[in-house]
Amino acid sequence: MDAFTAQQTIELVSRIGTKKAHMRLDKLFFNSCMTGPLLGFGCAVLVSTNAAPWYQENAPGLIRTIGALMFPVGLVMIVLSGADLFTSNVMFMTTALLHRRVSLLDLLKIWFISFFGNLAGTLFFVAIITGYGGVFEEAPAYTTAAINLAVQKCVNPQWHQIFLRAIGANWLVCFAVFISISSREVSSKIMAIWWPTATFVALALDHVVANMFFIPQAIWVGAPISVGYYIWKSLIPTALGNIVGGGIFVGAIYWYLYLTGEAGVAIDFNLGSLQTAMEAGGPMRDGAGTDHRRSRDDSTVIEGHDPEEYDGSGAPQRHHLPNSAGQMQSAVMRDLGDGTVYAKSYAERNGKGERDEEKV
């Protein structure tokens, strides 16, 4: 099978959450800042497609569908580049916490930094690229589209409606990330991300990071919405709903279904012809330093070399590189194999288990 099972995927989700808890805070923040512009490009395309007054009046479903099909480009760039998105971190950290691999403080730290990193990056994009760049000021239709979209998301619905819509939005976004992790090829990951994401946009559900673009952009071009109103009516209910949608309906549910009562989940990253990603920078090695490279005749053999390893002729050796199979393409998968620190509980990593055994 060319994908990880659901059990293996939620195990990877847990390990990725544990990995994130060990990231340097400055790197986490700047990686989160990068998410804002990447998602902002998709949001900007959505606003542009809405700048069609005749279709808005006569075929609103069609124009919404077209915008929904364009929007996922932002999430694809985020997932494939390994940028930190607050709403997917909700799933990662909730699963790792329930699996007892991170502490509650770790979870709150990652949520806080990624949330405000996403906000900072998005506001930068709104101000510098689309704001001062005048992207939505070339024609009145663009300005009107930006304002109308913000009004539909922040003014017209009631507080509880925004909260409930946000549950559905991050349910779909986190499920898109979940099935992208289960996929082994880049093309499969893109398709896995595209359709759930397009679904939430077509349904006009609310995603807190996307709204960090839509509403500030509308305020920039003159929407009658104050910053305080935006925080109370959109930022807070959308963030809370996204936490419920991603944390409970994806992270907690799949943790309960597949990880409770399990002593350990074995994951094989080296499954022959499925290894297609040019990543990792060298041959696969286990914790003991054993070389797992293979000579192969199919397209999965990638010409590459370790800086210190040659075959004597000066030519680079042929290595079979491990596939990422996860959201952080090149950074974490070498660390997520069986037996690494990220498969251990929080107590085991901090030596509490060993101290308990000594007491006994």
Q: Give the per-residue pLDDT at 268.
A: 72
Give the pLDDT of the chain (360 residues) as one tens digit per residue: 578 999 999 999 999 999 999 999 999 999 999 999 999 999 999 999 999 888 888 898 999 999 999 999 999 999 999 999 999 999 999 999 999 999 999 999 999 999 999 999 999 999 999 999 999 988 899 999 999 999 999 999 999 999 999 999 999 999 999 999 999 889 999 999 999 999 999 999 999 999 999 999 999 999 999 999 999 999 999 999 999 999 999 999 999 999 998 777 878 776 543 333 323 333 334 444 444 444 334 333 333 333 344 445 555 444 333 333 334 433 445 556 545 566 666 666 666 554 444 444
User: Where do the domains of the chain lie?
Assistant: 6-258
Six-digit token string for 131: 């704001």
pLDDT (tens digit per residue) in 173-223: 999 999 999 998 899 999 999 999 999 999 999 999 999 999 999 999 999
Q: Is the dihedral of CA 216, 222, 223, 224 positive or negative?
A: positive
Q: How far is CA 91 from CA 68, 112, 204, 231, 330, in A?
A: 23, 14, 21, 23, 20
| Contact indicator for 253, 178 with CB cutoff of 8 Å | no
Q: Could you give the residue ranges of the DSSP H alpha helices within the chain? A: 6-21, 25-50, 53-58, 60-70, 73-81, 86-98, 104-124, 140-150, 159-182, 186-202, 208-220, 227-230, 236-243, 253-258, 346-349, 352-359
Six-digit token string for 132: 């001062």
What values do phi and psi take at 22, rounded to 5?
-100, 0
Q: How far is CA 179 from CA 12, 101, 182, in A?
A: 11, 22, 5
Half-sphere exposure of 72 (CA within 13 A, CB side): 25
Question: What per-residue string of b and e applies to 86-100 under the rule 16 or more CB within 10 Å gives b?
Answer: bbbbbbbbbbbbbbe
Q: Give the per-residue pLDDT at 287.
A: 44
Q: Give the per-residue pLDDT at 188.
A: 93
pTM for the model: 0.78
Six-digit token string for 41: 């490009």
What values do phi and psi take at 105, rounded to 5?
-65, -40
CA distance 245 to 199: 15
| Contact indicator for 137, 131 with CB cutoff of 8 Å | no
Q: Give the per-residue pLDDT at 238.
A: 98
Question: What per-residue string of b and e applies to 273-290 under the rule 16 or more CB within 10 Å gives b?
Answer: ebbbbebbebbbbeeeee
Q: Could you give the residue ranges of the DSSP H alpha helices within 183-273? A: 186-202, 208-220, 227-230, 236-243, 253-258
Q: Give 96's contacts (C-beta < 8 A, 6+ positions apart).
A: 13, 14, 15, 16, 17, 18, 20, 21, 102, 106, 107
Six-digit token string for 302: 């990638």
* CATH level 2 (architecture), domain 6-258: Up-down Bundle (1.20)
Residue count (the chain): 360
What values do phi and psi take at 224, rounded to 5?
-80, 60
Six-digit token string for 129: 């690229």
